[in-house]
C-alpha cells in the first residue's frame, strides 16, 4: 500500500461485558466477508486488542469518498449490526460515532 493519500479509519471500541473473544472474532470475520470486503475502495483491515475489553478496528481505504460510501451502507448491513451489538456504544445507527479518519502523510517500512 505505497500510496500516501489513503484514508485510515481508527475505530476504537469496548466490547460489552460477557462478550467472549471467540464471539467477537466470529462477528468480525462475518463483518469482513459480508460487508467490508465487498466495499469499493476498501484496502485492508486489522483488528487490534488492548487491555480491559478495549479493541480497535484499523481500516485502510483508497479515498475519503470510499469511506463515505461505505458509511452510508452500514445501517442496512445485518453483519454490521451483529458486530456493533457486541460493543458498548451510545448509538449503533451512527456508523461514524467514535471513528477518527486520518490521512497518511508518510509511510516508513
Nearest CA to 67 out of 39, 97, 107 is that of: 39
pTM of the model: 0.87
Please check whether residue 1 lies inside any domain of the structure: no
pLDDT-based confidence at residue 91 (cuts at 50, 70, 90):
low
Query: 22: domain CATH number?
Result: 3.30.70.100
C-alpha cell at 43: 484496502
Q: Residue 81: which domain range?
A: 7-103
Residue 2 lies in a domain: no
Which region among 18-22, 65-69, 87-91, 93-97 has the lowest average model confidence (pLDDT)?
Answer: 93-97
Our count of domains for the chain comes to 1
CA triplet 43, 92, 50: central angle to 5 degrees? Answer: 60
**In 1-109, where does DSSP find H-type helix?**
21-34, 64-73, 78-84
Diameter of the chain measured on Cα atoms: 40
Amino acid at each position: 500500500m505505497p500510496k500516501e493519500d489513503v484514508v485510515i479509519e481508527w475505530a476504537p471500541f469496548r466490547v460489552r461485558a460477557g462478550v467472549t473473544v471467540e464471539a467477537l472474532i466470529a462477528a468480525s470475520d462475518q463483518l469482513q466477508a459480508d460487508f467490508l470486503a465487498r466495499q469499493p475502495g476498501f484496502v485492508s483491515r486489522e483488528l487490534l486488542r488492548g487491555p480491559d475489553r478495549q479493541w480497535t478496528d484499523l481500516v485502510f481505504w483508497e479515498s475519503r469518498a470510499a469511506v463515505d460510501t461505505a458509511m452510508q451502507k452500514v445501517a442496512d448491513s445485518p453483519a454490521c449490526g451483529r458486530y456493533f451489538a457486541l460493543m458498548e456504544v451510545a448509538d449503533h445507527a451512527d456508523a461514524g460515532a467514535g471513528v477518527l479518519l486520518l490521512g497518511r502523510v508518510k509511510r516508513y517500512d
